[in-house]
Structure 1
């Protein structure tokens, strides 16, 4: 009976440990800059919230795609590396030009 209890306890601890190992990374803006807020919202994967944030700050998607950098990288690359809902967010930011791979022509235009 004690052996069964030990096995069940080990299984329970193992399952709980897997949950901690798969915990999501939470991005937080490092400062109060407009671009920091846009980066965090873009990485969240919520397109409507990103749309509202960009409009609230009086910016355009084109401006964001060409000028916003997050942690020293273009926003599209940042979203690819750290974001959720990557394809949808990057297609929104680039007005449909995003193909699922980094596009360098967005910043070169």
Structure 2
């Protein structure tokens, strides 16, 4: 009986550790601008999480938010995906750029204990 209890405890702890480790995502990355182009400034402003900085960058670029939302790519990703992956406050920034059209992506991951 002790053997069964020990095995059940070990299995439960192992499953809990696998679940907690697999759910960890590293979202903080240090971004550096590759050049001083208008698109780079917009991408960096969007990733910063500051709506004011982004609005200034958009205004200075002469492009509309709708054009940026549909056409701008940052590191070969659509701007909304770039912000979702690397940015601070991605929900707020993407909602501002897309005017509520961006819904994000849902990822479902099954975790199975060995």
Give the alignment's TM-score, normalised by structure 2. Answer: 0.64
Aligned length: 80
CA RMSD, Structure 1 to Structure 2 (Å): 1.7
The runs of at least 4 aligned residues of structure 1 exceeding 4 Å deviation read: none
Q: Aligned pair 1:40/2:44, yes or no?
A: yes
Which of 91, 94, 102 aligns to 2:95? It is 91
Q: Aligned pair 1:26/2:27, yes or no?
A: no
Task: Describe how 1:66-85 pairs up with structure 2 within 5 A.
Answer: 66-85=70-89
Q: Which residue of 2 aligns with 1:56?
A: 60
SS in structure 2 at match of 1:41: helix
Gaps in structure 2 of 5+ consecutive residues? 1-25, 107-114
Larger radius of gyration, structure 1 or 2? 2
Gaps in structure 1 of 5+ consecutive residues? 1-21, 103-109
Give the alignment's TM-score, normalised by structure 1. Answer: 0.67
Q: Which residue of 2 aligns with 1:12?
A: none
